Amino acid sequence: MKNKTEIRFSVLVLLILLAAFSRVVPHMANFSPLGVIGLFGAAYFSRAWQAFLVPIAATWLSDLFINNVIYAQYYPEFTWFYPGFYWQYGSYLLITAFGLLLFRKNVSVVRVAGGALTSGVLFFLITNFACWTGSTVYAQNFGGLMTCYAAGIPYYKGTLLGDLFYSGVLFGGYYFLQARFPVLRTEKR
């Protein structure tokens, strides 16, 4: 039984790492797997701490690579964390918490699609709020906040498309893997 659990855990970690590192492939703005890997972890890890830790660790590792290898010319020193990372990471943790509630009973196409749509909205609201709070461009009042949200709308397209795409790839791919390899079938929580 322990071997089965270890195999399933290893495959889930590998899929999440592959998704996180797919960010190095050129893509449209905000087309990213990061919200969805939290949902995916919430749906399939047998323990809540794994659902939180693995996706956020994969995100951080991919950030380390992107910031220090791909964008090294923009950072004079090794970058462990970029400015404002806590807003994005906080949104990913909130998405994972939402996923734990959403997938508490089962994983279905409707729940996955609803989760993907909701995770994109949560990310949009949190990160654009963060942009507004730390900005000298937008007035620090309700009107400035609404202007900031309006300015973020064009980027939401990439978030939405990325969430839908990666939901299909991760959840759909894992569904087919489970059908082919019964060892990957999820234990009940």
What pLDDT is recorded for position 74?
A: 82
Amino acid 121 reads V
List, in order of start, the domains of the chain with CATH numbers. 2-184 (1.10.1760)
CB 56 within 8 A of CB 71: no
Kindly report the average pLDDT of the chain as a whole number: 93
Kindly state the average pLDDT of the residues 71-90: 87
On the question of pLDDT at 1 being above 60, the answer is no
Q: What are phi and psi of 107, to 5 degrees?
A: -110, 125
On the question of pLDDT at 66 being above 60, the answer is yes
Place of tokens 């590192």: 21
Kindly state the average pLDDT of the residues 71-100: 91
Q: How confident is the model at residue 189 (pLDDT cuts 50, 70, 90)?
A: very low
Whats the size of the chain, residue-wise? 189
CB 159 within 8 A of CB 119: no
pLDDT in tens, 16-64: 999 999 999 888 899 999 999 999 999 999 999 999 999 999 999 999 9
Handedness of CA 43, 56, 37, 123 (dihedral sign): positive
Kindly state the average pLDDT of the residues 4-11: 91
What pLDDT is recorded for position 188?
A: 52
DSSP strands (E only) in the chain = none
pLDDT in tens, 96-137: 999 999 999 899 999 999 999 999 999 999 999 999 997 889
